[in-house]
Amino acid sequence: MVSNQISFLKSLQQKKHRKAHGLFLVEGLKSVTDFLHSDFYTVKTVFHTSHSASKMLKVSGNIKLEEVSSAELEKISSLTTPQEVIALTEIPENNEIKPKQLAGKFTLVLDGIQDPGNLGTIIRTADWFGISQIICSEDTVDIYNPKVVQATMGSLSRIEVHYANLLLLLPQIKQPVFGAMLHGENIYQTNFGNEGLILMGNEGNGIRPEIQALISRQITIPQFGKAESLNVAIAAAIFCNEISRSRLK
């Protein structure tokens, strides 16, 4: 692998280069395998060490395979302990989401999530509970940030994520908007019905005031202890769980 190629791949750790080239990296055999079978993503090249060569035999002939040294892989990787497989993957177009796409299902809406680990965990949680769509505000952290991709553990390959101006989009939605708030209906006594948007806010500031005005129903997770706040990824998991419970009734 030539130094220019290494520099290019390493540059994809930065958002401006990912955006300019429409490419990002996926690390780890399990995650790469998930992206190889994704309906949303196209893998261009899989870089692997000689130790993982036998595992590459099942990869489709349409995918370019390139064997690299452990030292080269370490230079490309964003991880402290690099894994033996990295995939160069195309970023799909951020097609404008249509309100009719939201009918008859639940969708997570994220307002200003900034922590990559939180976003990755939310995506992984949505995948677990069968929520296939997430809408992010335009200032939410980039889903192709290496820390986000790693935290999803391959779940990003199965989730449609859209970025949108929530102030323009939400007024067009006919489904109820359930907002996660400090004060509101008790989540454990809420009937979520069969469809709706679950709106989660920024880690420090919650849902911004102008977006709060678009909430149909304010929902709160009741506090039983003395913690100052609840991590947004944990809160999202509780909402996903309660929606699942509600639909099973």
CA distance 81 to 90: 24
At 98 the pLDDT is: 86
| Residue 154 DSSP class | T
Contact 197, 176 (CB under 8 A): yes
- Residues near 57 by Cβ (< 8 Å), separated by ≥ 6? none
| Residue 58 DSSP class | G
What digits encode the pLDDT tens for the residues 15-29? 999 999 999 999 999
What digits encode the pLDDT tens for the residues 158-207? 999 999 999 999 999 999 999 999 999 999 999 999 999 999 999 999 99
Report the predicted TM-score, pTM, of the whole model to 2 decimal places.
Answer: 0.94
At 221 the pLDDT is: 97
At 163 the pLDDT is: 95
pLDDT higher than threshold 80 for residue 219: yes
pLDDT higher than threshold 80 for residue 249: no
Contact 86, 27 (CB under 8 A): yes
Please, what is the end-to-end C-alpha distance for the chain in angstroms? 57
